[in-house]
Structure 1
Amino acid sequence: MRTTSARDKRTASGQRVLILTAGVGSGHNSAAAAVQQACAARADIAEVQVLDVLQVSSVLYRALLSRGYFVLVEGLPWLVEWGYDISNPPFRRRGPIDPWTRVNASPVVGAIKRFRPTAIVCTHFLPAQLLAALLLRGLIDAKTAVVTTDYDFQGLWLSGAFHKIFVAREEGKVELMALGLPSDRVTATGIPIKKQLSPGPVRDSNKPPMLLISAGATGGDYAVSVVRQTLHMRSAFTVTVVCGHNDALRQRIGALVASAGDRYSVLGFTAEMPQLLQRADLFVGKPGGLSASECMAAGLPMVLVNPIPGQEVRNGDYLMEQGAAVRCNTAATIGWKIDQVLRDPGRLQKMQAAAQRTGRPDAAADVLSELLDGPSRPLVVTRAAQRTILAASENRFVATDLTGPSSLVRLVDQASGSTVALLQEDELPDLQKRYSTPDGDLVLRRGRASLLLRWEQRRLLRALLRGDDALPVRVEGPLAPFRDLHG
């Protein structure tokens, strides 16, 4: 998928935004489309392009990453959960991009060079890792954003260089700050979703509640079981079932509910999903990050069924914590579960209010504002600092608990006040020996005995100096994460 939109010639000198995504499921691409829509609302953006990095990779690479994932979800869900857990610790993998991924990334690098972006937004961790490598090699000069697409933060999204990382909720920001990430580089915006350009329909409280059942990306037998269970419900209700592109499933469910008259409406793919979300009273389906965010923005509570182990289970935990969802762990009781919600006076309305409070409909616009108005230099996390962050995560420490040579220190740009690097304390002496000023600060300089510098220091200078010859910075220890966040 590669889409481009441009403004008239009067804005030709404006921002050029490249949005990199990966079509593993629909959520990452939906988030990219939401950011693209938000770009259209800004007068300072001259051109925007969306690129699905899998669409320009080899057929085998694309098949293994996209189709292979759903094969595992269907046949070996325990393996998906294991994979999520094993890749969750931040910076567990610190080495260079593997050769196979590097080869498949070549078309993406070419697209970046041709488009010449001033800002790059990643809605998948694959391009985020690639951009980190390019920043550290000094090959791009664009502000870069990593936009996570689930409510729980997964360490796989954290890379060694970026300008801003956007998480779905405040707890994710607290988690990253506890590990040592500076508050000026982490923002909790919610997950980007497309906004309705016209007012949606208003729910009619005088009509029976409308259930919206989504078959999801994998659909099939489980969706049929859910619909079959609703046939046994005693409450008054209507149902709209969305089967997507699965025409066989649409016909199968249509035959199942044929005897129920006009109580059921069975749809295939529909472009009216935003309107359905606004009109429905209760959503029944999987808690994918984007679908959950769309429901919350519409004030639509959820009945969660068959979540994918890992991220969707954690999404569901958060929604239930907020009071905006209930989960049903077996299709055999889902009709009873929905009945319990509908028959308890005031419960549905309380869940709708909780969903409304949880929704972040302006997330895409907030991502752009924070990125474009934010620091111009990236944050670099050295390999040694990455080891510290990984160890802190595995040992359940927060950054301020760490002491000694492996503790974290920050380099802060004296001109902007933004943190530009995280280092281990024992990396400082060599920098101080070469770049110290009389008052104890540092002035990082290009070309000063560059051949004698360690490889990690050369990467740091390339990423931070860019077109400058020098950068004055001061050294700080990490702030207490909760004080920095709340006070």
Structure 2
Amino acid sequence: MRKRILFLMSDTGGGHRAAAEAIDEAIHHLYPNTFHTFIEDLWKEHTPWPVNKIPAAYPWMIARGMPVWKLIWLMSTTLKPHKVVLPSVSPVVRRKITRYFREVQPDLIISVHPLMNHLGVKLRDRAGLRDVPFATVVTDMVTVHPVWICPAVTLCTVPTEPARELAIRFGMPPEKVVVTGQPVSLKFAARVADRPALRKKLGLHPERRAVLITGGGEGLGPIFEIARAIARSVPGVELLVVTGRNRQLRRRLEGVPWEVPAHIFGFVRNMPELMGAADLLITKAGPGTISEAFIAGLPLILSGHIPGQETGNVAYVREHRAGAYAEDPRQIAALAAEWLDPHRDTLQQMAKQSAALARPDAALTIARRVCDLV
């Protein structure tokens, strides 16, 4: 009889679901036909309106609502929000989630969201499942929010050593914390073997340097302005611009008479190929994309970050000399021009530094660790 693994997450940004899916993929890769897995958005599926709409508001909050987000982050790092949130969870919601736990009867619970740890442990116990192992997979690369840390969990994995130090400082027993790297899909695990063949497949010019620009799944940030600045000031490049679900941005980019070859994509499934073909990545400082870039050995220009949870990511990339941070499109273009200069070795050195930080086996490592608990 297959054992059951329940992932707790919420779609506040794409990173939590992506982490759950990467671990889920790794579990089934390592242990085929062994586990039933369930990925559940507790907020969306088990809370009433308007609370169940919070995940949908997240893209607005980290864009136009950034002042609100900064305030929430600042207050929540000092007020121990789980002590406020848990008592405020209505009896109806508690009963609903508890009933769901009893229906699933998991043999293992894995949380990939900061708000699912204290709540998840409490309601696991209420459901009569106290002996079921509970693992927390922290998806913040460096700046771990205190609410992630529930000392009662069985295991806590973190992406980096600085994250481990913070987890311990916030109260996680050291013996429970394991540095594994950031879980990303196994599609990113292998470096491209034949780069010229891949570039030919994608229709790229064999002699031009390729710059990949992305703003995540929602196409956030000044992608248009960055692409235009590079096209105007770095003549020897070829652009790969990924707009995600931002259709308006894609249409706007497709209407431009480009000075250099430009390939405009919407939401893509072949990001490993695009990264494998690129020479430089320009992106916001999301932990998943940064980790994928490390695996591809890509130098990074980070064009923006979410204050709080992504602040440490910027410092991590800069301190390890794998990239730089710049928000102004003209400054980004100037950096790109400098790094892509064929008479300099800056790009090659940063590519080596980026590759040295890679943890391509992170999802597999986490899968082994959590499955050892059952």
Amino acid at match of 1:269: F
Q: In the superposition, relative to structure 1, how do residues 298 and 108 fare at CA in structure 2: closer, same or farther (>3 Å)?
A: farther
Cα offsets for 1:20-60 (capped at 9, x unmatched): 21101111000010011011123383311211223313342
Name the counterpart of 1:120: 109
Q: In the superposition, relative to structure 1, how do residues 323 and 30 fare at CA in structure 2: closer, same or farther (>3 Å)?
A: same
Pairing of 1:100-179 with structure 2 (within 5 A): 100=89, 103-104=92-93, 106-137=95-126, 139-140=128-129, 141-152=131-142, 153-178=144-169
Cα distance in 1, alignment partners of residues 216 and 210 from structure 2: 18
Cα distance in 1, alignment partners of residues 172 and 51 from structure 2: 32
Amino acid at match of 1:248: Q
Cα distance in 1, alignment partners of residues 338 and 208 from structure 2: 15
Q: Verify: 1:183 aligned to 2:156, yes or no.
A: no
| Contact 1:169 1:190 (C-alpha < 8 Å) held by counterparts | yes
Cα offsets for 1:192-246 (capped at 9, x unmatched): 1111288746434963221111133553671111111112223521111011122
Supply the RMSD in Å over aligned alpha carbons: 2.5
4+ residue segments displaced more than 6 Å:
none
Name the counterpart of 2:325: 327
Q: In the superposition, relative to structure 1, how do residues 221 and 310 fare at CA in structure 2: closer, same or farther (>3 Å)?
A: closer
Corresponding residue to 1:30 among 1, 15, 18: 18
Q: Secondary structure at the match of 1:265?
A: strand
Name the counterpart of 1:369: 368
Cα distance in 2, alignment partners of residues 221 and 194 from structure 1: 24
Q: Secondary structure at the match of 1:58?
A: coil
Q: Secondary structure at the match of 2:50?
A: helix
Cα distance in 2, alignment partners of residues 117 and 137 from structure 1: 14
Corresponding residue to 1:203 among 184, 195, 204: 195
How far did 1:270 drift? Answer: 1.4
Q: In the superposition, relative to structure 1, how do residues 70 and 220 fare at CA in structure 2: closer, same or farther (>3 Å)?
A: closer
Cα offsets for 1:49-101 (capped at 9, x unmatched): 211223313342122x2233332322242332232232235946435614446
> Alignment identity in percent?
24
Pairing of 1:270-281 with structure 2 (within 5 A): 270-281=268-279
| Contact 1:328 1:334 (C-alpha < 8 Å) held by counterparts | yes
| Contact 1:27 1:149 (C-alpha < 8 Å) held by counterparts | yes
Name the counterpart of 1:70: 59
Cα distance in 2, alignment partners of residues 102 and 275 from structure 1: 48
Name the counterpart of 2:307: 309
How far did 1:372 drift? Answer: 3.1
Name the counterpart of 1:243: 243
| Contact 1:201 1:278 (C-alpha < 8 Å) held by counterparts | no
Question: Which structure would you say has the larger Rg?
Answer: 1
| Contact 2:111 2:117 (C-alpha < 8 Å) held by counterparts | yes
Cα distance in 2, alignment partners of residues 280 and 102 from structure 1: 52
Deviates more, 1:131-140 or 1:25-34: 131-140
Q: In the superposition, relative to structure 1, how do residues 221 and 190 fare at CA in structure 2: closer, same or farther (>3 Å)?
A: closer
Amino acid at match of 1:37: E
Cα offsets for 1:96-134 (capped at 9, x unmatched): 614446544544433322221111111112222222213
Name the counterpart of 1:255: 255
Amino acid at match of 1:339: A
Corresponding residue to 2:334 among 329, 333, 336: 336
Q: In the superposition, relative to structure 1, how do residues 221 and 42 fare at CA in structure 2: closer, same or farther (>3 Å)?
A: closer
Q: In the superposition, relative to structure 1, how do residues 329 and 19 fare at CA in structure 2: closer, same or farther (>3 Å)?
A: same
Cα distance in 1, alignment partners of residues 287 and 280 from structure 2: 17
Name the counterpart of 1:232: 232
Cα distance in 1, alignment partners of residues 81 and 258 from structure 2: 55
Cα distance in 2, alignment partners of residues 26 and 89 from structure 1: 26
Deviates more, 1:273-282 or 1:51-60: 51-60
5+ residue gaps, structure 1, are 1-11, 377-487
Q: In the superposition, relative to structure 1, how do residues 83 and 209 fare at CA in structure 2: closer, same or farther (>3 Å)?
A: same
Cα distance in 1, alignment partners of residues 221 and 111 from structure 2: 34
Amino acid at match of 1:373: D
Amino acid at match of 1:128: N
| Contact 1:201 1:275 (C-alpha < 8 Å) held by counterparts | no
Corresponding residue to 1:318 among 316, 319, 327: 316
Cα offsets for 1:386-408 (capped at 9, x unmatched): xxxxxxxxxxxxxxxxxxxxxxx
| Contact 1:136 1:161 (C-alpha < 8 Å) held by counterparts | no
| Contact 1:39 1:368 (C-alpha < 8 Å) held by counterparts | yes
Give the alignment's TM-score, normalised by structure 2.
0.87
Q: Secondary structure at the match of 1:94?
A: helix
Length, aligned pairs only: 360
| Contact 2:226 2:332 (C-alpha < 8 Å) held by counterparts | yes
| Contact 1:165 1:185 (C-alpha < 8 Å) held by counterparts | yes
Q: In the superposition, relative to structure 1, how do residues 77 and 372 fare at CA in structure 2: closer, same or farther (>3 Å)?
A: same
Q: Secondary structure at the match of 1:112?
A: helix
Amino acid at match of 1:15: K
Cα offsets for 1:152-176 (capped at 9, x unmatched): 2111111252111111111222233
Q: In the superposition, relative to structure 1, how do residues 332 and 60 fare at CA in structure 2: closer, same or farther (>3 Å)?
A: same
Corresponding residue to 1:54 among 43, 46, 54: 43
Pairing of 1:329-408 with structure 2 (within 5 A): 329-343=327-341, 345-374=344-373
